[in-house]
Amino acid sequence: MANDILFDVPEILRFGPITTKPGMEFNKQPNGDSVMWFKVKNVESSVVVKIDEFEIPGYFGGDLVTCTIPKKFFSAASEHRIYLYNKSNGLTSNTVIFSVKP
């Protein structure tokens, strides 16, 4: 029998916002940044948020991850694939869709 190490796959349970209008800030912070939140399972500090393959550092607090979303991702009508990526073991979470609709 192989001596395999099993890893828990990261999972996005809920997230927000799910949608916004083009150019509309959301969860606006005092510095002007727009922030998205993720209710997650099986995450550790080596996990990053990927939006359309663009890596965004996450801020962790128990089962919650938040990250700043660059304006280029909500400046025009579009849809973006978002998932979590564990840099230490290569595992990825389920994918969710963030929609920017007029």
pLDDT tens digits along 74-101: 999 999 999 999 999 999 999 999 999 9
pTM: 0.89
Mean of pLDDT values over 58-70: 93
**CA-angle at 72, arms to 69 and 75, nearest 5°:** 105
Nearest residue to 39 via CA among 60, 69, 57, 68: 60
Residues 43, 9 contacting (CB under 8 angstroms): no
Burial 71-86 (b: 16+ CB within 10 A, else e): eebbeeeeebebbbbb
Q: What is the pLDDT of residue 1?
A: 43
Task: Please check the confidence at residue 12 and state whether its pLDDT lies above 70.
Answer: yes
Mode of pairing for the β-strands spanning 59-61 and 19-20: unpaired
Residue ranges and CATH numbers for the domains of the chain are 11-100 (2.60.40.10)
Q: Decide: helix, strand or coil at residue 90.
A: coil
